[in-house]
Amino acid sequence: MPECYDLIVIGAGPGGYVAAIRAAQLGKKVVCIDKRAALGGTCLNIGCIPSKALLDSSELYSVARNRFARHGIQAKEVNLDLPTMLKRKDGVVKSLVDGLAYLFQKNGIQIVTGLAKVEAPGRVAVKKPDGTTIHLEGDAILLATGSEPAAVPTLPYDGTNIVSSTEALAFDKVPAQLIVVGAGYIGLELGSVWARLGAKVTVLELLPRILPGMDTEIATLVQKSLTRQGMKFHLETKVLDATVQGGQVVVRTQHQGQNSEFQGDKVLVAVGRKPCTAGLGLTELGVTIKERTGRVQVDEAYQTTVPGIYAIGDLIDGPMLAHKAHEEGIAFAEKLAGKAGHVNYGAIPGVVYIWPEVATVGLTEEQVKETGKPYRVGRFPFQASGRAIAMDETEGIAKVIADQATDRLLGVHIFGPRASDLIAEAVMAIEFSASAEDIARICHAHPTLSEGLADAARAAYSGKAINVYLDR
Ligand code: NAI
């Protein structure tokens, strides 16, 4: 007889593991299946966490080399020890993976390693690494299998010279020339890592701008900043093909009808990700997968078109972000347990962990313009922040967009030091339907970077900031 559960979760990433823990907390008998023995999915094993470990290490290296002297610190020789940097990254991942295993054990969640296939509503087959197949039964099945790198047909991955983010987290030496295809989250983050460690980084982007979907004013500042840091950008550039010879890749491109060639020892392709639905047996069961996007169709309770089968995270509509999947995991489990789970899709932050960081929530100025409603914008340059000056981190701005008639916050976009932490206040404000004046009237500790957000909000609602003179 197959084992019987209340909930079978397929995928132990930030969607699946969170759903499993929350469901277990609510009294459900849960099993979680993952093809990897290490829990945590892409985010923890080959995504968010290892990339942040390398971003932090490479930023420290860059600061030690380039900025210590300004602080009066003399470091005679700063050398890169890449094997130790990579080992530290692996250690960071391992400690979090172990932590998750402990949480699963404490919450009584069964773990099964293997490839899952949904045989019928309520029934899942798992092919285990030793080749045997087991069958599980459960009242509900949650699909949380995430996404994988999309490919460019003219630039097929070979795992050595033409690679995805997975391999770019573990280059055994710093590439002399790294070509990055795609100026999105991954391209800019991993491009930054290797640029800081000494690679010459060239970014090829199909669109006429970087970071599509982000506020254009912020994206323009980011491009200028990364260019100053040594990265080169070629926009409106189409990849025609690539040839690999003697460890070198030549990428042929086209820009406004003109052909060019770029040579590098590594090419990182980062042109987006696609949902992992293959092999799960979904179409056979009648689960609707949207033709254009490959995303699984779900209703408000995250139920697919087949009763008893649910999906969350990168598999369904919305930004492919770990914290969005996390929220959906909680909401799904709570709804399954008859509670009122909820995700506010208008208040999901996005962060690009380059330096300075980019963090954003709500509508971009372009999206607000499209609504046709009058709006006001307040900006605060970190150059005017006492704390930023003390830190020697004055690059960037905080930008607050509010409805002109009601002053309700519509969007907050920050390019600046520790923007990833600063954005939390803006997310909370948008969640609580706050006005720009609300943020401005909250007492912000001095001297902190958060005062910059308060002054940007003040500028948005009143046209005046305290620490910047605005002539209007
Ligand atoms: P992305 O969607 O952020 O950026 C892809 C970029 O590639 C876009 O600028 C696009 O215009 C460009 N592009 C598409 N086809 C192209 C082509 N043939 N030639 C040149 N450029 C092309 O995707 P990315 O960076 O691969 O990241 C995948 C997902 O992972 C994103 O959805 C992101 O949400 C998530 N992610 C989030 C991170 C974070 O939260 N900090 C970090 C890394 C990834």
Residue 470: pLDDT band (50, 70, 90) is: confident
Report whether 20 contacts 12 (CB < 8 A).
yes
Residue 154 lies in a domain: no
pLDDT at 471 over 90: no
Do 14 and 128 sit in the same domain of this protein?
yes
Q: Which domain holds residue 206?
A: 162-271
Residue 155 lies in a domain: no
Q: In terms of domains, do 65 and 115 share one?
A: yes
The atom of ligand 1 lying closest to the CA of 212 is 9
CATH of the domain at 256: 3.50.50.60
Domain boundary at 311, 343, 375, which? Answer: 343
71-103 pLDDT, tens digit per residue, is 999 998 999 999 999 999 999 999 999 999 999
8 A C-beta contact, residue 452 and residue 399: no
**pLDDT range class, residue 449, cuts 50, 70, 90:** very high
Nearest CA, atom 30, ligand 1: 320
Q: 183 CA distance to ligand 1 centroid (A)?
A: 7
Report the atom number in ligand 1 closest to the C-alpha of 350: 40
| Contacts for 339 with CB less than 8 Å, ≥ 6 apart | 26
Same domain, 322 and 333: yes
**Could you tell me if 75 and 182 lie in one domain?**
no
Determine the distance from the C-alpha atom of residue 248 to the mean position of all C-alpha atoms in its chain, rounded to a whole number: 30
Does residue 233 lie in a domain region? yes
Q: Measured from the CB, is residue 417 less than 6 Å from ligand 1? A: no
Indicate whether 241 and 278 sit together in one domain: no
Q: Is the pLDDT of residue 1 over 70?
A: no
CATH of the domain at 399: 3.30.390.30
Ligand 1: centre distance to CA 181 (Å) = 9
Q: Are residues 28 and 120 in the same domain?
A: yes
The residue behind tokens 């003179």 is 469
Is 444 among the residues known to form the active site? Answer: no
Q: Is residue 432, in this structure, part of any structural domain at all? A: yes
Whose Cα sits closest to atom 15 in ligand 1? 271
Do 137 and 198 share a structural domain?
A: no
pLDDT one-digit tens code per residue, 310-367? 999 999 999 999 999 999 999 999 999 999 999 999 999 999 999 999 999 999 999 9
Q: How far is the CA of 320 from the centre of ligand 1 (A)?
A: 10
Whether residue 451 is contained in a domain is answered as yes
Whether 328 and 245 map to the same domain: the answer is: no
For 412-435, what is each residue's pLDDT tens digit?
A: 999 999 999 999 999 999 999 999
30 pLDDT higher than 70? yes
471 within some domain:
no
Q: Does the pTM of the predicted model rise above 0.95? A: yes
Q: Where does a domain end: 219, 252, 271? A: 271
CA distance 274 to 277: 9
The helix (H) or strand (E) run that includes residue 136 is strand 133-143
Give the mean pLDDT of 287-315.
98
Three-state secondary-structure class, residue 193: helix
Out of 207, 241, 271, a domain closes at 271
Q: How far is the CA of 205 from the centre of ligand 1 (A)?
A: 10
Calpha distance 22→82 (Å, rounded): 39
Residue 177 placed within a domain: yes
User: Can you tell me the distance from the alpha carbon of 372 to that of 268, in angstroms, rounded to the nearest whole number?
Assistant: 39
| Total number of domains constituting the chain | 3
Within a 13 Å sphere around the CA of 59, how many CA atoms are in the beta-carbon half? 16
Q: Is residue 469 part of a domain?
A: no
Ligand 1 neighbour 184 (Cβ under 6 A): yes
Kindly give the number of the ligand 1 atom that is closest to the alpha carbon of 352.
41
Q: Ligand 1 atom 12: the closest Cα is on which residue?
A: 182
**Backbone CA torsion sign across 9, 14, 17, 21:** negative
Same domain, 172 and 284: no
User: Do 299 and 329 fall into the same domain?
Assistant: yes
Q: Is the shortest distance between the CB of 320 and ligand 1 below 6 Å?
A: yes
Same domain membership, residue 115 and residue 46: yes
Please check whether residues 267 and 278 belong to one and the same domain. no
